[in-house]
Structure 1
């Protein structure tokens, strides 16, 4: 067999990640967490990295010995470094800002190389100048298998996900529209008989205002404090036409929600999981107020001990100006 055949075999899908029941104070409503931290790299980015590599191999852009390059500061680098190592490929990631050991160490332990660039938005041009194949997770579409896997497990009324590249919400929205249920088969689905997709968006991100105003190139120019999601501009992979709702979430609410996830599940998840959970609880609250039952799925991931010193820590949240306590009280009311 050739290298590409072996590579595609290594890039096949793994075991499905679990659905975890989460308590809500809304009779007849179920909230399920799709736990993407069960992946080998502990993150939803695992699926996207696998899809990017698979597409690049199929298109002949990555072959044996190709140096793979990316521009990112988050969990995508860890997931991509994991696949690069598995495929025996050199991996270079260009990260924004000054070198930080917490960001660099997980990538370097997998054999990747980290290069840091200032100002942050210069990472894309810097990555394009590196000799090799630029994966370009924001500009290159690569649908992954989350939607097929999830809808084989459950057909919820709503599925909620944070938006980074936009690829996940687009994949879910496209698949939800293709899987229209026969009329009357599930009275909880929308009038078209399909699951609806909601995007949870943190402060400073462009997705909520851009979606609301229907401005495809909307930009805030401001960085998100929530690792992994929120963008200063509407990315090409985000498809507003495949999203039913975008829910803005205060950063303090995201930080409070990550702590509630850990209390219930034991998982030290990151901020993006908290953002998605808070948005899911907004939908649960709406269903409760309307007297409707049904199921909401919130996609979570990125459970790592490093978050215990950030989102889960009072000293960190106070330093960031996040008033977590008020949101914790609201969370307790909604999830007890």
Structure 2
């Protein structure tokens, strides 16, 4: 296996310890808390869809975080968990297996805490993602195949005396799903004054599975009747594992919808918290983000399209049954990260295929 490391100059970050105690962990926790205080809660946007009278569809816009995605919450939780578990101290190198939004957010928090950060990723990773990781002082370490990132991340962490953050294992453990800062609690607060404050369903896709686990646990903690619906893209084994109960399933390829879908069942995916799952065609996901831009002016990443397609399908079923209520889903990140891929029609035609069938379906909602 051949690997290469792209090194960039790191900004000097002065680590200030408590003069009285030399308590780096205490200093680090204050830094993380100050980031949380500076980050205003993300908006909950009500989409106006005349065809769905009596059914209110809401989009929780996580793209407004400082690092531009839902993974900002997860990265802060992962660092908090690692520090409080004694795995990360002053100067500990941080390693993650990710080429996406998780790596961008973890690079941000590593710089905040004065820690070196390396993201292990395939050589095929988009240049835009590499630039974003570097912008926060991270380093990119390349492997030939996507399947090699886990082992290589473990090796780097072991050889450098660092910590492998391992988002796929720790996502559901690290997140404080009962806390007031969780995404579930935020949705709950923001829905309080709406016409249907307790959603009939929350629709979420799975990458690590951590966000779905947070939502599912919080729903049960509050005793709500809200259903947790998880949508899965093509080339992901989560849906098949949910249907069969087989956690050992392996897929042959990777998801074409960045940030979600996995070729193996990750430890943070908790099917027992899910009320229903269904598969969303990749072309439907892309058609849905174009539809969202038409009705709201917002550009999103493809995983948001997966969520939206699922939410709209669910809304259509509710309307057919004569039901009323609310549905909440998430805008995971913004479309500016994907101008050369999902937001380039030529690329979509070559890599995803024809969208016409799904755009026709969505046109009735515009």
| TM class, shorter-length | over 0.9
- TM-score normalised by the chain length of structure 1: 0.93
1:159 maps to 202
Please state whether the residue corresponding to 1:199 is helix, strand or coil. Answer: strand
Does the 8 Å contact 1:42/1:304 carry over to 2? no
Give runs of aligned pairs for residues 256-335 of structure 1, distance below 5 A.
Answer: 256-333=287-364, 335=365
1:42 maps to 68
Q: Which of the numbers 168, 177, 186 marks the counterpart of 1:149? A: 186
Structure 2 residues without counterparts, runs of 5 or longer: 1-17, 177-181, 192-197
1:175 maps to 218
> Which deviates more, 272-281 or 7-16?
7-16
Please state whether the residue corresponding to 2:235 is helix, strand or coil. Answer: coil
Structure 2 residue 216 is the aligned partner of structure 1 residue 195: no
CA drift of 1:218 comes to: 2.1
Deviations 1:282-312 (A, max 9, x none): 1101100100000000111210423233212
Measured in 1, the distance between the counterparts of 2:318 and 2:47 equals 16
Does the 8 Å contact 1:56/1:62 carry over to 2? yes
Does the 8 Å contact 2:282/2:352 carry over to 1? no
Does the 8 Å contact 1:179/1:194 carry over to 2? no
Does the 8 Å contact 1:201/1:249 carry over to 2? yes
> Which deviates more, 91-100 or 118-127?
91-100
CA drift of 1:266 comes to: 2.5
Structure 2 residue 143 is the aligned partner of structure 1 residue 117: yes
- Alpha-carbon spacing, 1:237–1:290, altered in 2? closer, same or farther (3 Å): same
Please state whether the residue corresponding to 1:30 is helix, strand or coil. Answer: strand
Q: Which of the numbers 24, 30, 48 marks the counterpart of 1:23? A: 48
Measured in 2, the distance between the counterparts of 1:265 and 1:5 equals 43
CA drift of 1:100 comes to: 4.1
Q: Which of the numbers 131, 145, 154 marks the counterpart of 1:105? A: 131
- Alpha-carbon spacing, 1:94–1:221, altered in 2? closer, same or farther (3 Å): same
1:60 maps to 86
- TM-score normalised by the chain length of structure 2: 0.85
Deviations 1:215-236 (A, max 9, x none): 2222223200000000011111
Measured in 2, the distance between the counterparts of 1:142 and 1:324 equals 38
Structure 1 residues without counterparts, runs of 5 or longer: 181-192
1:189 maps to none
Please state whether the residue corresponding to 2:140 is helix, strand or coil. Answer: strand
Measured in 2, the distance between the counterparts of 1:99 and 1:147 equals 31
Q: Which of the numbers 145, 152, 169 marks the counterpart of 1:139? A: 169
Q: Indicate the RMSD between aligned Cα atoms, in angstroms.
A: 1.4
How many matched pairs?
A: 323
- Alpha-carbon spacing, 1:99–1:280, altered in 2? closer, same or farther (3 Å): closer
Measured in 2, the distance between the counterparts of 1:245 and 1:207 equals 12
> Which deviates more, 134-143 or 28-37?
134-143
1:223 maps to 254
CA drift of 1:169 comes to: 0.4
2:269 maps to 238
